[in-house]
Structure 1
């Protein structure tokens, strides 16, 4: 079951969103204080965040910026601020979507569902996937080996997750590119090569050598 955190200071809207999400099969996390929100995200590991901009003491822009320092979890701004500048600012600092209040419940649910499907591959919705001692922490976009860890970019996370999900199988470069395009991430052949090289470098920094193997003329395999 997906966990969605609602960051909203209006009790009425908070309860309305909670009821809507619970009724549609989501587990809801509702913090009442917002100044310690980044720490709460790290401990509760929600799959998606609904974030208002206008909050007491600290605004949604600042919270989004702080969360993006350690997590790539999907963030949808749900706010009464509806100017083009607000939407541009929200996306620029790391938001994945922008919904203005009053929102249409069906549209909001559709956007949440679409974003979750793009973010978490269908092959494995678990928070951690493993192969040969390598642990990939999906929600925090981090790979760990022998008590050492390193953060991954969103592209690196998607590539490594896709390879591990197909472990033992040679995955063609075109399949990986198509998979990332489905996630609305821009990847061409050269970008893929750069990302795989960086992935290998990060893994080698953890002491993992030859984890991603190149099968000449065929693709990659783990």
Structure 2
């Protein structure tokens, strides 16, 4: 049974979500101290985290930063706020998806299932290394290494990078990326994909590979690699 940590201070909403997710055979844990969420995170060792933005003491963005400094576990944000910057901030901090309140439970469960499939089933069958532009890409550990150092990627970032590398020097359309990553693009926006790709490129910049992911205006993205004779 997969474990979920639900960081939600609205007791009635927490109970409703927990009951619904339990019916889907998920083990749902809550937070005992909103001033020390990391203690519960360490105790539970969740397979996925759901975080509300507005929380006591520290907001969800703070706890996302803290979790990301220790783990690449999938993260979904919940929020009753409808400002686009909230979604952008969530993705920039390393979240995998964003759900606005009020929401249909079917949408939430679809997002949870899609993220868990690509985070865990994907890793179970893709335990391999790939060489790209002189770097070693580890699909299992979500890392990219070269002589300039090592970077760690989130589940979304490694999935996007793999999709582009497997079709290197070819343009991969935005629709193809979204369909592959989120299964059903009705649950995702163009802006969210842009944020994920920009975040991936920024990390690759740290080891001198950011320019190897090219944006083809109006077409999509391409992972480039010089072909040697």
The alpha-carbon deviation at position 39 of structure 1 amounts to 3.1
* Runs (4+) off by over 4 Å: 181-186
Could you say which residue in structure 2 is the equivalent of 1:63?
63
Tell me: CA distance 1:80–1:120, structure 2 relative to 1, closer, same or farther (3 Å): same
Are the aligned partners of 1:71 and 1:141 in contact in 2 as well (CA < 8 Å)? no
Unaligned runs of 5+ in 2: 128-137, 144-149, 182-192, 208-229
Are the aligned partners of 1:141 and 1:152 in contact in 2 as well (CA < 8 Å)? yes
Could you say which residue in structure 1 is the equivalent of 2:54?
54
Q: Whole-Å Cα distance in 1 between the matches of residues 30 and 90 of structure 2? A: 21
Q: Whole-Å Cα distance in 1 between the matches of residues 151 and 7 of structure 2? A: 25
Tell me: CA distance 1:101–1:34, structure 2 relative to 1, closer, same or farther (3 Å): same
Deviations 1:129-176 (CA, angstroms, capped at 9, x unpaired): 9xxxxxx9x8x979xxxxxxx994347x969xx9xxxxxxxxx966xx
Q: Whole-Å Cα distance in 1 between the matches of residues 51 and 24 of structure 2? A: 19
Scaled by the length of structure 2, what TM-score is found? 0.58
Could you say which residue in structure 2 is the equivalent of 1:118?
118
Q: Whole-Å Cα distance in 2 between the matches of residues 88 and 66 of structure 1? A: 18
Could you say which residue in structure 1 is the equivalent of 2:132?
none
Tell me: CA distance 1:112–1:151, structure 2 relative to 1, closer, same or farther (3 Å): same
Could you say which residue in structure 2 is the equivalent of 1:20?
20
Are the aligned partners of 1:35 and 1:57 in contact in 2 as well (CA < 8 Å)? yes
Tell me: CA distance 1:173–1:80, structure 2 relative to 1, closer, same or farther (3 Å): closer
Tell me: CA distance 1:33–1:103, structure 2 relative to 1, closer, same or farther (3 Å): same
Could you say which residue in structure 2 is the equivalent of 1:109?
109
The alpha-carbon deviation at position 87 of structure 1 amounts to 1.2
Are the aligned partners of 2:142 and 2:158 in contact in 1 as well (CA < 8 Å)? no
Q: Whole-Å Cα distance in 2 between the matches of residues 151 and 84 of structure 1? A: 28
Q: Whole-Å Cα distance in 2 between the matches of residues 154 and 64 of structure 1? A: 13
Scaled by the length of structure 1, what TM-score is found? 0.59
Are the aligned partners of 1:3 and 1:28 in contact in 2 as well (CA < 8 Å)? yes
Q: Whole-Å Cα distance in 2 between the matches of residues 32 and 21 of structure 1? A: 19
The alpha-carbon deviation at position 53 of structure 1 amounts to 0.6
Q: Whole-Å Cα distance in 2 between the matches of residues 92 and 153 of structure 1? A: 12
Q: Whole-Å Cα distance in 1 between the matches of residues 95 and 41 of structure 2? A: 15
Q: Superposed, which structure 2 residues align to 1:126-137 within 5 Å? A: none
The number of aligned residues is: 167
Unaligned runs of 5+ in 1: 130-135, 143-149, 163-171, 198-222
